[in-house]
């Protein structure tokens, strides 16, 4: 009889004590699916006399509610609240979704951009060359003698040159872009050349086998060392602030004559002396000089008529000084804890 069945199943449900998600699923399959007991009792209800219908209608509805509520309670405890396999989402579906986490700019990109912007305002254009270079552009055109130590395997990565017998190198500096630029253009030109360079170094906190440089070149009639100094003074004040001090020291590069290295007052200790500046108060940031007339001639430029200055700096070094980063390896390890400290830009 229907009445007895309802009483019996009510007792069974009241005694139901699930101890796992499987128990909960078994309950659902027994009572609530379309071939389950609740549906079967409702089918049977259709067949009973109208007298019985009157007596059992409420009881049966109460039984159905009891079965559904017991299942919901059990599901909340054991299946994280998913009460229906086809309807797993609960909550307001019209609410906007969670925002996407935006990445941040790499510190080297930020600093490169900043440097490029400063020189752009002085009329420099951006130019790029090749990372795999031939000997001429990386060394010979820049006056590196055949026995120059920089050509040694210890410093340079050599690459077998495809179908030619020529040995290629991974460029060791962006000065190679100067050569390409001068070969392809006639003065006047002003260009800034950012790029990645490679050296055969053991990786440590202070050295890496690849890093980034920015090269600058200005060639025109009557370009002088005073133009070079003034341009670089302006650059340093823009990048590190008005009160940064600058000094030039005589130096040597095969492709410039005269050559100099430029130091700035240590940005960390403001010149008082610290570990980074080795207690001297000064840190070197770039090499520079007047383009050697022989280099101009090597690239097809009349050195009687034109002169020029060039400079080259490491972007990592400039970045370290700006953000006080002490380990070069951080730049290429892709550690999100490091990278997410830098500015996020939407454009
Ligand atoms: N190419 C040099 C280096 O990698 C840097 C350099 C020095 C570039 C003097 C220049 C320059 O253009 O004039 O160490």
Q: Is the pLDDT of residue 147 over 90?
A: no
Interstrand relation of 167-170 and 256-265 (parallel, antiparallel or unpaired): unpaired
Average pLDDT taken over every residue of the chain: 91
Query: 289 in ligand 1 pocket by Cβ < 6 Å?
Result: yes
> Phi, psi at residue 265, to the nearest 5°?
-65, 140
Distance of CA 60 from the midpoint of ligand 1 (Å): 91
Cβ neighbours of 301 (radius 10 Å):
20
Minimal-distance CA residue to ligand 1 atom 2: 312
Query: 173 in ligand 1 pocket by Cβ < 6 Å?
Result: yes
Query: 175 in ligand 1 pocket by Cβ < 6 Å?
Result: yes
Helix (H) / strand (E) element for 24: namely helix 21-31
Query: 288 in ligand 1 pocket by Cβ < 6 Å?
Result: yes
Least confident range of 10-24, 83-97, 266-280: 83-97
Query: 312 in ligand 1 pocket by Cβ < 6 Å?
Result: yes
- 170-189 mean pLDDT: 96
Q: Which residue has the higher pLDDT, 333 or 165?
A: 333
**Tokens in use for 167?**
């040995």
Task: Identify the CA nearest to 206 among candidates 78, 331, 39, 51.
Answer: 331
pLDDT band at 41 (very low <50, low <70, confident <90, very high): very high
Minimal-distance CA residue to ligand 1 atom 4: 173
> Which residue is associated with the tokens 């690459």?
159
Between CA 272 and CA 284 the distance in angstroms is 16
Task: Identify the CA nearest to 228 among candidates 214, 216, 244, 211.
Answer: 216
Q: Three-state SS for 143?
A: coil
pLDDT band at 229 (very low <50, low <70, confident <90, very high): very high
Query: 187 in ligand 1 pocket by Cβ < 6 Å?
Result: no
Q: Is the pLDDT of residue 347 over 70?
A: no
Q: Would you list the DSSP string of 74-121? A: HHHHHSTT---TT----S-TTSPPPPPPP----HHHHHHHHHHHHHHT
Query: 195 in ligand 1 pocket by Cβ < 6 Å?
Result: no
Q: Which residues pair with 262 in a beta bridge?
A: 248, 286
Q: Is the pLDDT of residue 174 over 80?
A: yes
Q: Three-state SS for 45?
A: helix
Task: Identify the CA nearest to 268 among candidates 257, 285, 281, 250.
Answer: 281
pLDDT band at 275 (very low <50, low <70, confident <90, very high): confident
High-pLDDT (> 90) share of the chain, %: 71
Q: What digits encode the pLDDT tens for the residues 284-326?
A: 999 999 999 999 999 999 999 999 999 999 999 999 988 888 8
**What pLDDT was estimated at residue 83?**
55
Q: Which residue has the higher pLDDT, 147 or 108?
A: 108
| Residues 17 and 11 sit within 8 Å (Cβ to Cβ) | no
Q: From 288, 296, 313, give the residue whose CB has the most ligand 1 atoms within 8 Å, as the site to mutate.
A: 288
Distance of CA 254 from the midpoint of ligand 1 (Å): 9
Between CA 249 and CA 292 the distance in angstroms is 18
Between CA 236 and CA 70 the distance in angstroms is 74
**What pLDDT was estimated at residue 165?**
65
Least confident range of 115-124, 171-180, 223-232, 324-333: 324-333
**Tokens in use for 210?**
């690849």
**What pLDDT was estimated at residue 78?**
81
CA angle (135, 187, 182) in 5-degree steps: 10
Q: Three-state SS for 218?
A: strand
């Amino acid at each position: 009889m229907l009445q007895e069945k309802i009483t019996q199943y009510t007792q069974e449900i009241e005694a139901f004590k699930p101890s796992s998600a499987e128990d909960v699923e078994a309950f659902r399959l027994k009572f609530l699916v379309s071939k389950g007991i609740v549906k079967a009792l409702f089918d049977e209800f259709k067949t009973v006399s109208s007298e019985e219908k009157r007596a059992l209608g409420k009881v049966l509805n109460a039984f159905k509610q009891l079965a559904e509520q017991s299942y919901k309670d059990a599901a909340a405890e054991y299946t994280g609240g998913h009460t229906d396999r086809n309807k797993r989402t609960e909550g307001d579906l019209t609410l906007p979704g969670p925002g996407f986490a935006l990445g941040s700019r790499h510190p080297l990109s930020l600093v490169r951009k900043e440097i490029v912007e400063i020189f752009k305002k002085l009329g420099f254009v951006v130019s790029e060359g090749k990372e795999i270079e031939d000997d001429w552009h990386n060394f010979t055109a820049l006056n590196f003698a055949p026995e120059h130590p920089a050509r040694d395997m210890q410093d340079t990565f050599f690459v077998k040159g495809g179908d030619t017998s020529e040995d290629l190198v991974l460029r060791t500096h962006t000065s190679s872009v100067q050569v390409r630029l001068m070969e392809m253009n006639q003065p006047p030109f002003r260009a800034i050349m950012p790029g990645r360079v490679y050296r055969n170094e053991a990786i440590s906190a202070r050295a890496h086998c690849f890093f980034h440089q920015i090269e600058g070149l200005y060639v025109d009639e009557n370009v002088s060392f005073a133009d070079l100094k003034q341009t670089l003074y302006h650059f340093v004040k823009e990048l590190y602030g008005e009160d940064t001090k600058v000094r030039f020291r005589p130096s040597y590069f095969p492709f410039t004559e005269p050559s100099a290295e430029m130091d700035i007052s240590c940005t960390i200790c403001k010149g008082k002396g610290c570990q980074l500046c080795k207690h001297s108060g000064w840190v070197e940031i770039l090499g520079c000089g007047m383009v050697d007339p022989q280099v101009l001639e090597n690239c097809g430029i009349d050195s009687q008529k034109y002169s020029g200055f060039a400079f080259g700096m490491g972007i990592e070094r400039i970045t370290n000084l700006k953000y006080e980063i002490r380990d070069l390896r951080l730049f290429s390890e892709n550690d999100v804890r490091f990278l997410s400290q830098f500015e996020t830009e939407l454009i």
